[in-house]
Structure 1
Amino acid sequence: MAGEYGLKRHFNADAARLIGDRIRVVHPQFDVDSYAAEVASRMPGKELKDRVLVLAEGLRTRLPADYAEAVPILLAILGDELAEGEGMFNSSWFLMPVARFVEEYGLDHPGLSLDAIEEITKRHTGEYAIRPYLEQHYALSMERVARWALSPSHNVRRLASEGIRPRLPWARTLTVFVKDPRPVLEILEPLRSDPSGYVRKSVANNLNDISKDAPDLALATALRWLEESPTPETGWIVKHGLRTLVKKGDQQALAILGATGGEHVRVPRLTITPRSVTLGETLLIGFDIENTDDRAHSIAVDYVVHHVRKNGRSIPKVFKLTTLELGPGERRSLEKTHAIKEVQTRRYYAGEHTVDIQVNGLVQATGRFDLHT
């Protein structure tokens, strides 16, 4: 069910019946048939977020008009808390309209709504629902988020990070944190070595968001975290949290991660075969990499495909390849296959495409292939 398209098709009349049947157990007067019929009539042509809103609007007109009476009914259908490793879009995907209900209709009841978001996130997620509360009830929401960061529930701790990400995908940008991410970093402090992989991934993504707008602050924070919390968990967070800066070739980020000596590494051979491809085929990128220094170096090797756009210009996309240690004078041969196929976020256009081999952020060799569509 990954991806917006794969997810959106599940929000239909069947989803309305799934939600409605659960509600009717605790609120017998809920009209499941009319709910499903309304949803079916309103869904054609709508994308994911609008589909979820249709389901939330149908709940609003069929539950008690008093929000304080409606919310406990919805909380009663949530089920058990998700264990570590249980994806929120697997067993509990249908709760997205419940979270949207709180997001849309609860702003006049911030305390009650934040309580509800905490319960929802244990079974699904509250990362989208909390964002208007941060905008309209900042102090109260941030106080609650700080408490969530210390929760015994890994799902709630994850929300403390994910809900305040400045640039959360599929969500509105939190400009207050784009301008000043320091309050976000304060929340992340107790999570910088969290035992939960679910939480750590969110913290890393949050740090990566911050690095796009405040790179110096993100780098200083990463360095301090590594010094104060020299654990494998913190190391993982920092590595993934600096990935955008690494892809850009930021030398300080690379140094923090232990990559050194890029200027001493050269790529004496690069071949891209076949030289001409059509959509759906696969390239083989082969190259040699050599350390010309008399000292060993840890290096990060990426490759960059400059995708031709409709207007003829090219946009680079960095692909992680490997990290390795090269001894003094050592030379290695590396290969990578690269499929030329369209994905949801990328369309291909005919033309000459450039491929760079990038070592510690420095371009060391360039090749080309022609794409025919």
Structure 2
Amino acid sequence: MSSRSLPRLPAAPGTIETGSTLKTLLDREAIDCLAHNLARVHRTLNAKAFRREAREGIEPLAILARGQHLAKVLRRHLPARYEQAVAVLVRSLTPSLSETEGNGLAGFFYLPHVSFVATYGLDPAKNGGRDPFEASMRAQYEITRRFSAEFSIRPFLIKWPERTLARLREWTRDPDPHVRRLCSEGSRPRLPWAMRIPAFVQDPRPVLPILEALKDDSELYVRRSVANHVGDIAKDHPALAFELCERWAEGADENRKWLIRHAVRHPAKKGVKAALRLRKLAAAG
């Protein structure tokens, strides 16, 4: 296969530079790459029309709205049945990430992909009457290995909490740290930028088995997500979060001690005595 036919990612900085905004990550170059990657695996794609429709009205939109706009364009140009359309998206993906740090912002290229799954992947009527759950899970598994499906998994946790949590519990044992991180990050009750999960804000206990499974993960990338998740719980259920951290502090190694300190850092800054005591209990060294 020639290099011209390989899937492409647009150029992207490691961080947002002064005077720039995230929305530039889904600009003309990203649209060209998206059309190129789709055309490789979907031969009937009218790439010229796709690029034209993708660019129409995109300029004033912020990054999340751009992802949603491009998902709508994808819907018009991919097969009508969701399962077939999302299979095209999966086949168009670039290789999965090999590192958990230093990947920069290029992954935001896949925001339209997760927006597509979140928008169209829950409705059997958009899939010829067939249950779209498995197709959506397969897609999110692959996307999260390149970007993160933390935004798209949340509508599934809201609509189908039991079956989605069951899948995430399975994925806590996956060899890919990006998949394991999704299990914690995607189920956070108050994930920044994303819709809240009201049921987990009210009662986070259904998610605790996932955090238990990942608290000693080999990757800091995953453990940091667990700590942030516990920090979310502490905003609404501080006693539960502090009880969890106190139990984890028993026999904790340095990695778990760091997780505990990170999890309670915000209430500790506010002078909450239980959080201060936990940070002392989990002190390094």
Percent identical residues = 38
Q: 1:242: how far off?
A: 0.5
Instruction: Provide the rounded CA distance (Å) in 2 between the counterparts of 1:58 and 1:118.
Output: 23
Instruction: Provide the rounded CA distance (Å) in 1 between the counterparts of 2:256 and 2:84.
Output: 43
CA RMSD of aligned residues (A): 2.1
Instruction: Provide the rounded CA distance (Å) in 2 between the counterparts of 1:180 and 1:103.
Output: 23
From 68, 71, 92, the equivalent of 1:56 is 71
Greater fraction helix? 2
Cα–Cα, structure 1 residues 112 and 54, in superposed 2: closer, same or farther, change >3 Å? Answer: same
Could you tell me which runs of 5 or more consecutive residues in structure 1 were left unpaired when the two chains were aligned: 260-297, 299-322, 324-373
Q: Which amino acid aligns with 1:80?
A: P
From 239, 242, 245, the equivalent of 2:261 is 239
SS of equivalent to 1:10:
helix
2:222 aligned residue:
199
Greater fraction strand? 1
Instruction: Provide the rounded CA distance (Å) in 2 between the counterparts of 1:87 and 1:174.
Output: 29
Could you tell me which runs of 5 or more consecutive residues in structure 2 were left unpaired when the two chains were aligned: 1-12, 124-131
2:162 aligned residue:
139
Q: Which amino acid aligns with 1:212?
A: K
Alignment check: 8 A CA contact 1:194 1:233 kept: no
Alignment check: 8 A CA contact 1:193 1:231 kept: no
Higher relative contact order at CA 8 Å, sep ≥6: structure 1 or structure 2? 2
Q: Which amino acid aligns with 1:94?
A: F
Alignment check: 8 A CA contact 1:43 1:51 kept: yes
Q: 1:87: how far off?
A: 5.0
From 14, 21, 28, the equivalent of 1:13 is 28
From 172, 181, 185, the equivalent of 2:204 is 181
Alignment check: 8 A CA contact 2:64 2:111 kept: no
Q: Which amino acid aligns with 1:83?
A: S
Q: Which structure has the bigger radius of gyration? A: 1
2:94 aligned residue:
79
Cα–Cα, structure 1 residues 80 and 190, in superposed 2: closer, same or farther, change >3 Å? Answer: same
Instruction: Provide the rounded CA distance (Å) in 2 between the counterparts of 1:30 and 1:151.
Output: 34
SS of equivalent to 2:151:
coil
1:126 aligned residue:
149
Alignment check: 8 A CA contact 1:39 1:55 kept: yes
From 55, 58, 83, the equivalent of 1:40 is 55
Matching of residues 205-216 of structure 1 within 5 Å: 205-216=228-239
